[in-house]
């Protein structure tokens, strides 16, 4: 079973009887711990068989006040699954997006869009999918415009050359 599937089970259990404020609290608690996993020396400590599980748990829960998250980390320790913490944190952020119906996306273009154009695209895509959308722009070298909303599994793209060709064809047919 992949880490993502295992993490989803923990998230589902954690979210049971939880409200939006609880989810925010969980994210805040796990975020500080998840950031530690970006450090290779920290990963060596957590994965070391020479350090007792209880010591690892103490390290991880030392800055956490939320009892549900403390219990979650203890449970992860019992099953040697500390590496799931970053995945759990990301999954909880996605759940918060779903609760808020607010998502982030990336628009890939070959030219920089101004704020007005970006806002228009956010509103158009947001209304099309009945969500609140915040887009960030990434400049690419190809003639493709692509909107990627990963948390929804949505990718929409089209070629600017093909669009120009279709516009020319429409104009010629109109004449």
Supply the pLDDT for residue 164.
Answer: 62
Q: Hey, is 110 helix, strand or coil? A: coil
For the CA atoms of the chain, what is the radius of gyration? 22
What is the C-alpha separation between 124 and 76, in angstroms, rounded?
42
What is the C-alpha separation between 95 and 76, in angstroms, rounded?
20
Using one digit for the tens of pLDDT, what is the confidence trace for 156-172?
A: 887 667 656 766 677 77
Using one digit for the tens of pLDDT, what is the confidence trace for 7-36?
A: 999 999 999 999 999 999 999 999 989 999
Residue 146 pLDDT grade (very low, low, confident, very high; cuts 50, 70, 90)? confident
Q: Hey, is 102 helix, strand or coil? A: strand
Contact 26, 67 (CB under 8 A): no
Residue 1 pLDDT grade (very low, low, confident, very high; cuts 50, 70, 90)? low
């Amino acid at each position: 079973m992949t880490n993502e599937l295992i993490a989803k089970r923990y998230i589902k259990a954690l979210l049971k009887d939880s409200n939006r404020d609880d989810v925010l609290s969980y994210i805040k608690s796990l975020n500080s711990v998840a950031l530690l996993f970006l450090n290779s020396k920290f990963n060596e400590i957590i994965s070391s068989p020479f350090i007792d599980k209880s010591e690892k748990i103490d390290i991880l829960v030392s800055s956490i006040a939320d009892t549900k998250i403390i219990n979650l980390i203890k449970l992860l320790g019992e099953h040697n699954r500390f590496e799931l913490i970053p995945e759990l944190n990301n999954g909880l952020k996605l759940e918060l997006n779903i609760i808020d119906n607010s998502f982030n996306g990336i628009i890939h273009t070959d030219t920089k869009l101004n704020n007005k154009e970006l806002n228009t695209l956010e509103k158009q895509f947001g209304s099309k999918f009945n969500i609140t959308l915040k887009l960030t722009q990434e400049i690419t070298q190809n003639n493709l415009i692509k909107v990627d909303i990963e948390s929804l599994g949505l990718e929409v793209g089209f070629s600017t050359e093909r669009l120009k060709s279709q516009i020319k064809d429409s104009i010629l047919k109109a004449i």
